[in-house]
Amino acid sequence: MTSVDVTPNQNDRVLHSLPADAADPCVHCGFCLPTCASYRVLGTEMDSPRGRIHTLKAIDNGELELDATVASHFDSCLGCFACVSACPSGVRYDQLIEATRPLLNQAELRSPCQNHFRQVLLKLLPYPGRLRALLQPLRAYAGTPIQALSRRLGINRILGPQLEAMEALLPALAAENFQDDLKVLHPAAGQRRSRVGLVLGCVQRCFDPGVNQATLEVLKANGFEVVIPSDQGCCGAVTHHQGQLKQTNELAEKLVRSFALAIGPGKPGGDEPLEAVLVTASGCGHTMKAYDELLDGSSNFGVPVMDVHEFLIERGLSKTFQNSLQPMLHPDGSTASAEAPLAVTYHDACHMIHGQGISSQPRQLLQTIPHLVLYEASEANLCCGSAGIYNLVQPEEADQLGRIKVAELRRTNAELIASANIGCTLQIRRHLNGGLSVVHPMEMLACSAGLHQPPGIQKSLSITKVPGEGDNR
């Protein structure tokens, strides 16, 4: 019996789905070691990309058995793919670890508690309705003095490390966290340039719904008609990153079907086809861009999947929108200016920079905001420790990485942190423990344009109208 939705055979070659020489380019140079998040906190060769590749070869050659001890060194991998970017030999470690993940889900490779906890997470997180049902009773606790007191006294420690980690990520829950009241079809403001679809995300819509609202407003203001299927679910990223292939395919097919049912003659999303399907969370984008492979090309959107930053830079911001952007306020209420610009640091989510090769586009968009200056963290490529459900199933390692990441971000002396992935945002907010706001670049653009004011962070995301400034720039 296994804890997965497929039945792997431990006697199969681990790399059976890849070319026989997939691991051969590795020359054990060690360039991957300083970039590897798990090696950074654990410091053992077995918990590095180089060590795992050596282990995979040994398993493949029948020299080593995939038992619980060996599997634990693969479980310690965050799947951040920083090593792929760093490798001078072009080793596709991302393909190697993705081929290994399904085999790690055999019940005997983890303890019963670990298996049950993972099963609960994967039956909960990809389903917004279930997640909201669980969160509803917690509204009286989350973000209140009761929660603050519980954390200060350490009461949450009695829950155990994994449930304590879940509680630590729990934000304040407002009414909008529990409803998707967006229409299916949203006309463009002014002359329409094209039509796009927008994926809401399963976790993001429950914990940070303002991101979707801000993105919608920015797209409309730039001349894009937006279609948002009302019954869309999870894209499958959470399960994909855990090697749960059957569940991932089911979720992916349902998401594709929700768009197909919304678009066409007589349908609520309008007759015309879309130019692209857009995502605002990097983890979602990484998985959705792999739909052709995951679904064997049998079912897909029929149009490109693009990160929203990638799309807006490729298509360009409209002149009207650019002229509407106004300086934001510093946390002390003073207006950002050329002499005193707003200091911002952008956090590179791993599945954005390493998984999709997107790095400059979010920065380019942020730099369109007047009197905003970007400061770079010295270890911008280091994973924050979120990594899907990693900060829940490997809480100790994730805690160390979160502390390292926040220390790096603080050293930039930024007044605001921009993050384009919901998992990273929650992880960084947890370890900041107040003092700085973490917001999505789309929220900053929408705020600067006077389109949307995200609840709860008005102090950091405020703008001031400077007469004529938009026209004179």
Task: Put residue 186 in one of left, alpha, beta given phi > 0 → left and psi -120 to 50 → alpha.
Answer: beta
Q: Mean per-residue pLDDT for 71-94? A: 93
User: For the CA atoms of 446, 234, 4, 42, what is the dihedral angle to 10 degrees?
Assistant: 0
H-type alpha helices, 183-277: 204-207, 210-221, 237-240, 245-262
Instruction: Look at residue 296 in the predicted model and tell me its pLDDT.
Output: 75
Across the range 81-89, mean pLDDT stands at 92
- Give yes or no for a contact between 260 and 279, defined as CB atoms under 8 angstroms apart: no
> How large is the average pLDDT for residues 29-51?
94
pLDDT tier at 295, thresholds 50, 70, 90: confident
Structure tokens at 282: 């990097």
DSSP string, 92-143: -HHHHHHHHHHHHT-GGGS-HHHHHHHHHHHHHTT-HHHHHHHHGGGGGTTT
Q: Which residue has the tokens 């490997």?
A: 394
Who's near 237: CB < 8 A, 6+ residues apart? Answer: 281, 283, 284, 286, 287, 288, 388
Q: Whole-angstrom Cα distance, residue 141 to residue 175? A: 14
> ∠ CA 253-103-68 to the nearest 5 degrees?
140
Q: Distance (Å, rounded) from C-alpha 194 to C-alpha 174?
A: 33
Q: Distance between CA 305 and CA 237 in Å, rounded? A: 14
d(CA 356, CA 82) in angstroms, rounded, equals 12
For residues 99 and 53, what is the distance between their CA atoms, to the nearest angstrom? 12
Average pLDDT of span 170-174: 87
Determine the pLDDT at residue 472. 36
Separation CA 345–CA 342 (nearest Å): 10
So what's the pLDDT on residue 4?
47
Residue 360 dihedral angles phi and psi, to the nearest 5° = -80, -30
Is 60 exceeded by the pLDDT of residue 15?
no
CB atoms within 10 A of CB 465: 11
Please give the mean pLDDT across all residues of the chain.
Answer: 89
**What gap in Å lies between CA 104 and CA 99, rounded to an integer?**
10
Sequential DSSP letters for 284-343 = HHHHHTTHHHHTTTSS--SS-EEEHHHHHHHH---HHHHHH--PBBPTTSPBP-SSSPEE
Q: Calculate what percentage of the chain has a pLDDT beyond 70.
A: 90
Whole-number pLDDT of residue 20: 59
Burial of residue 304 (CB within 10 Å: 0-12, 13-18, 19+) is: middle
Tens-place pLDDT, residues 412-439: 999 999 999 999 999 999 999 877 899 9
For residues 150 and 69, the model is more confident at: 69
Query: What pLDDT, on the 0 to 100 scale, is given for residue 470?
Result: 37
Q: Comparing 453 with 372, which gets the higher pLDDT?
A: 372
What pLDDT does residue 21 have? 62
| Chain-centroid distance, C-alpha 123 | 19
Buried b (16+ CB within 10 A) or exposed e, 141-170: ebbeeebeeeeeeeebeeeeebebbbbbbb
Q: Rounded to the nearest 5 degrees, what angle is found at the Cα of 339, between the Cα atoms of 336 and 343?
A: 50
Q: For position 465, what pLDDT does the model report?
A: 41
Q: Are 401 and 387 in contact (CB under 8 A)?
A: no
Residue 335 bridge partners (DSSP): 329
Per-residue pLDDT reduced to its tens digit, 336-373: 999 999 999 999 999 999 999 999 999 999 999 999 99
List all residues 6 or more positions away from 419 whose beta carbon is below 8 Å from its beta carbon. Answer: 346, 347, 349, 425, 428, 438, 439, 440
Whose tokens are 């934001």? That residue is 328
Is 443 in contact with 454 (CB distance < 8 Å)? yes
Give dist(CA 140, CA 138) in Å, integer.
5
Asked if residue 33 has pLDDT above 50, the reply is: yes
Instruction: Calculate the CA 161 to chain-centre distance.
Output: 23
- For 234-293, write each residue's pLDDT tens digit: 999 999 999 999 999 999 999 999 999 999 999 999 999 999 999 999 999 999 999 988
The reported pLDDT for the residue numbered 306 is 97
